Amino acid sequence: MQEYPIKRGLAKDLDVRIVAELKNCFGVDPEKIGKGYRISLGALKRLDVSVGTGGKSIIIDTESDLTASDDVILDTNKRFRRYLDAITGFSTKERVKRAKSVGDE
């Protein structure tokens, strides 16, 4: 399980954006589960997304399909990174930099 901060100004209507970006990046309609959403696609047996405490982050929990082919894994990872970029407002490079700075504190 991983928590990702949302860029300032993008936290408004986060539930709506979670669903829209799941559809956009993965091409599937998410299933509503509890307070979050779930999809299953490619190398992901399960991808759960919910709004974090305070509404300024998202919490993502995944379960991988270990039998997936390399091509499927690469495609799924590409889609997942694109989803994180779109939903958080931070690029992969920015997310890594922020994670490192939080770990240094």
- Look at residue 80 and tell me whether its pLDDT is greater than 60: yes
**Residue 75 predicted with pLDDT over 60:** yes
**Residue 61 is inside which H or E element, if any?**
strand 57-64
DSSP 67: T
Tokens (6 digits) for 32: 């509503």
**Residue 77 is inside which H or E element, if any?**
helix 70-88
User: How is the chain split into domains, by residue range?
Assistant: 2-98
Q: Let me know if domain 2-98 sits in CATH 3.40.50.2000.
A: no
Residues, the chain? 105
Q: Is the pLDDT of residue 30 over 60?
A: yes
Instruction: Report the 10 Å Cβ neighbour count for 35.
Output: 9
Say which amino acid occupies 19: V
